[in-house]
Amino acid sequence: MNTGKQGEEVVAQWLTSRGGKILHHRWRWKRGEIDLIAIESDTLLFIEVKTRNRSNWDADGLLAITPQKQATIVRSAELFLLKHSHLAEYPCRFDVAIVRHQPINREIVGTPLHIVADLNSGEHLLLLDYLANAFDGT
């Protein structure tokens, strides 16, 4: 399983443990993708997941959420709602989840929201932050 997919699984587990329901993993169309689509507390969530190594150049993925990336996610969400009109009445939110993978023998800094140990690879997957309403859909 690739790193991005592993990060998405960590976020999906965490959301489910909080009572959320995952509707789609990696919903795609020809011009974009939404990593996770979920419902939590009667709100439809469009979630961008960024998974990085401990040493990275883009603030654990935050710098990769450019205005262009946000616009692509919003367009993708609009198309999703056109194709799934029964969900169009839900309030929508655009969230960003930050996941890091690092060797199990390395010290965990801070207090992650969720930790998954992958004993096969010898790594932890850490949900470092979950930014609700990370950007507007307008």
Residue 110 pLDDT exceeds 90: no
Residue 31 confidence (pLDDT): 85
Q: Output the pLDDT for position 138.
A: 64
CB 107 within 8 A of CB 126: no
Phi, psi of 93 (to 5 degrees): -145, 145
Half-sphere CA count of 130, side-chain side, radius 13 A: 20
Q: What is the pLDDT of residue 1?
A: 57
* Cα distance between the two ends of the chain: 34
Q: CATH number of the domain at 3-135, out of 3.30.830.10, 3.10.20.30, 3.40.1350.10, 2.60.120.1060?
A: 3.40.1350.10
Q: What are phi and psi of 84, to 5 degrees?
A: -125, 60
The C-alpha atoms of residue 27 and residue 31 are separated, in whole angstroms, by 11
Site of tokens 């969530």: 45
Residue-wise pLDDT for 21-76, tens only, equals 999 999 998 888 999 999 999 999 999 999 887 667 676 777 788 899 999 999 99
Q: What is the pTM of this model?
A: 0.91
